[in-house]
Structures are given as C-alpha cells and as structure tokens.
Amino acid sequence: MAAEPVNVNEFSTLARNVLPKMIYDFYAGGAEDEWTLRENVAAFQRTRLRPRVLVDVSNVDLSTTILGFKISAPIMIAPTAMHKLAHPEGVTATARAAAAAGTIMVLSFSATSTVEEVAATCDAVRFFQLYVYKNRSISAVLAQRAERAGYKAIVLTADTPKLGRREADIRNKLVVPTLKNLEGLLSINMDTEKGSGLASYASQTLDSSFSWKDIKWLQSLTSLPILIKGILTAEDAELAIQAGFAGIIVSNHGARQLILCHQRLWLIEEVTKAVRGRVPVLFDGGIRRGTDVFKALAIGAQAVLVGRPIIYGLAVKGESGVKKVLEMLQDELELAMSLSGCCRVEEITRSHVQTENEIIRSML
C-alpha cells in the first residue's frame, strides 16, 4: 500500500499514477515550453521569510473576510475545469470539501456539473467564473442562472481572448467532454484532427473582441459583485477600479496562456499599490505550501486561490483528498504564522519577506 501523502506536492505524484496521461497532462500542463509554469513555483522559493520571535502565538487565528464573507483561512478554491475527468463525483465532491473547510469555491464555467447541481450539493458560499462568448446571450444566461442559484459573486476571466498554446494537449489530441452548463445553449464540433479539442472549442466560441468598453453591459446582467481575474499590471488594475470591479485576482492563468509572462508573485505588490485598498486583491498560481500562502499575503494579497493541488487531491482521494489538501495548506500556514510571530492574518506584513535582490543589497 502506498504511503499517505504528507504534503501537497506528493498528491501530484500520486495523481500522475492514477490519471490517464492525456488527463494528467491537461491538468498539469502550461503554455509552450512551460517556462512560466516552472517559474510560478520557483518564485516562491526565491522569496525568503523574515520571522519575528518571542511573540505570544498560543492562539493563532487564520480566518479572514472576502467581500464580506468570513472564511476559515485565506485559501480559496480556484476555478478549474472538468473535475469529472479526475474523479467520478467531479466538482460536487470539491464543493462539499470546500464547504467542510469553511472556504469559498469558484465554480468553473466549464464544470462537468451545472451551477444548479453544485448549488444543491451543500450550503456554502460560492462564486461563479464567467467567460464571454461570441454569442453574448450565453454569458448572460450563465450569469443569471448563477445568481438565481445563490452564487455570491461573478469572476470574469479576462486573459483569454484566445487560448494559449498548450502543446501537451495538442500532442495528445485532447478530447473535451460535454460541458454541462452549456447544454442547450451551445453546440459545436470539436475538431481534434489538428490537435486539442479544447483549442478548437475556444477558437469557435470565445469573444476576442470583448474589451473595457463592454464592462457596463456585463454589469447590467446581474446584481452580483464582479471580480476580474487575470490582472498583471498596475495600469490594468487602475482600469479595473474605474470600471467598477469589486475585486482583482492577480493571475497568469496558471501559466497556461502567455509564455514568458512575468510571474505574478511580486506583481501583487505592483497591483496593490495601484489599488490602494479600494478593492480586495487576491492571487492565484504556484501555491504548493502554507509558506507560499504566507508570502503572498505578506506581499499584499488578501487571500489566495488554489487550483492544481485541488484537482490532484480529488483524483487521488475524491472529496477527502480535497479536504486533505486544504487541511495541509491551512496547517502549514498556521505553523508559518506561529514561527513568524503572527497571530492573525492582518499581522502578516511586507516586513516578513525579502526578495533575493533585497538580500543581496543588504549585504553590500
């Protein structure tokens, strides 16, 4: 019998053993030569902690509030596609695990269960991820269905006017299952003769003309707050504020879109300086340890979203695997806070981390 995983990274190894190659490659892969994918993780390793000592840390509280919703720890579940490829129960198992952990899950528009099915699974706070289609009435229907089903916010993914070049999916001729939320709304031919069926789907459906001038139309569809995911610059952060977004997610789409795109860890600081506390700034990508969460919070994020590790936990152990991944990250974050002299999330500050360049300068 295989040993039980003791950290999140070990779930990735176990998932590789249980998933078909095409499916594992889909979840694990990034754009082109995957430099940015590797850099997403490596940037955390190059950022050093500056712990404080002799602080009473006998009572550490991980809880925080996002858009008025209290969660057990600043660790949310990112929108990730097609969970039933990883486990027969799919995203409903993920939703139950999120509810049990007391956190927020962002449901992917390309889920293999409908917004209504997931909402009926358990009582929890959920957000819904939205893309804008060439047929914009589809996006309107999805946003309104999510609101009727009790979702508390919409997350607009803004970095995908076209799909990034994901070479593993091209090589494997990825076949995409039916996307449950689109049944009765969209019917397309997914051509895998030239490569990825997902790329074929995206090229036929995604609206590459959607721009800042269209945000008021999007806001007219729903009374829910709308966050924007995919911001990587201070300039776009300011435009997002001016457009009335309720929150910003600093993200490079898990390194699945633009190759050699700057790793977002230190872009949190650029974005938070531009935002000046007007809306929450969240972060996703590359989180594999509780210390990674700590570093992201120290640089300015109010919470992080975790994607691939959730999928790996689901693939290996279903709902209990997702719970375990969240538990591991929370336990490691609590330990990092304790050893750094922080009793509350609000006490984690920029003074708790150093970049390599700052370390070098301090030695000169």
Q: What is the CATH number of the domain that holds 76?
A: 3.20.20.70
In this prediction, residue 44 has a pLDDT band, given cuts at 50, 70 and 90, of confident
In this prediction, residue 1 has a pLDDT band, given cuts at 50, 70 and 90, of very low
Cβ proximity of 87 and 307 under 8 Å: no
In this prediction, residue 22 has a pLDDT band, given cuts at 50, 70 and 90, of confident
Spot the catalytic one: 87, 253, 262, 352.
Answer: 253
- What per-residue confidence (pLDDT) applies to 162? 63
Evaluate whether residue 212 is within a structural domain. yes
- What per-residue confidence (pLDDT) applies to 40? 75
Evaluate whether residue 286 is within a structural domain. yes
With a pLDDT cut of 70, the percent of the chain lying above it is 83
Evaluate whether residue 1 is within a structural domain. no
Catalytic annotation present for 253? yes
Least confident of 23-37, 85-99, 253-267, 347-361: 253-267
- What per-residue confidence (pLDDT) applies to 244? 97
Binding residues: 79-81, 108, 129, 131, 157, 166, 229, 251, 253, 256, 284-288, 307-308
* Average pLDDT for 167-178: 67
Domain extent, residue 138, equals 8-363
Q: What is the pTM of this model?
A: 0.91
Which range, 181-185, 196-200, 266-270, has the best average confidence (pLDDT)?
266-270
Evaluate whether residue 81 is within a structural domain. yes
Binding residues for glyoxylate: 131, 166, 253, 256
CA dist 298 and 349 (Å) reads 5
More confident: 322 or 32 = 322
For residue 263, pLDDT over 80 is answered with: no
Q: Could you give the number of structural domains in the chain?
A: 1
In this prediction, residue 24 has a pLDDT band, given cuts at 50, 70 and 90, of confident
In this prediction, residue 166 has a pLDDT band, given cuts at 50, 70 and 90, of low
Cβ count within 10 A of residue 210? 21
CA dihedral of residues 206, 131, 142, 112 (deg, nearest 10): 90
- Report CA-CA distances (Å) from 263 to 139, 166, 254, 276: 30, 18, 10, 21
Amino acid (1-letter code) at residue 132? V
For residue 152, pLDDT over 70 is answered with: yes
Evaluate whether residue 241 is within a structural domain. yes
CA dist 252 and 38 (Å) reads 13
| Average pLDDT score, the chain | 87
- What per-residue confidence (pLDDT) applies to 63? 98
Evaluate whether residue 297 is within a structural domain. yes
Binding residues for FMN: 79-81, 108, 129, 157, 229, 251, 284-288, 307-308
Cβ count within 10 A of residue 164? 23
- What per-residue confidence (pLDDT) applies to 75? 98
- Report CA-CA distances (Å) from 73 to 211, 239, 294, 326, 357: 34, 29, 11, 9, 30
- What per-residue confidence (pLDDT) applies to 331? 98
For residue 262, pLDDT over 70 is answered with: no
Least confident of 40-49, 138-147, 277-286, 313-322: 40-49
For residue 161, pLDDT over 70 is answered with: no
Evaluate whether residue 2 is within a structural domain. no
For residue 186, pLDDT over 90 is answered with: no
Evaluate whether residue 3 is within a structural domain. no
For residue 184, pLDDT over 90 is answered with: no
More confident: 197 or 72 = 72
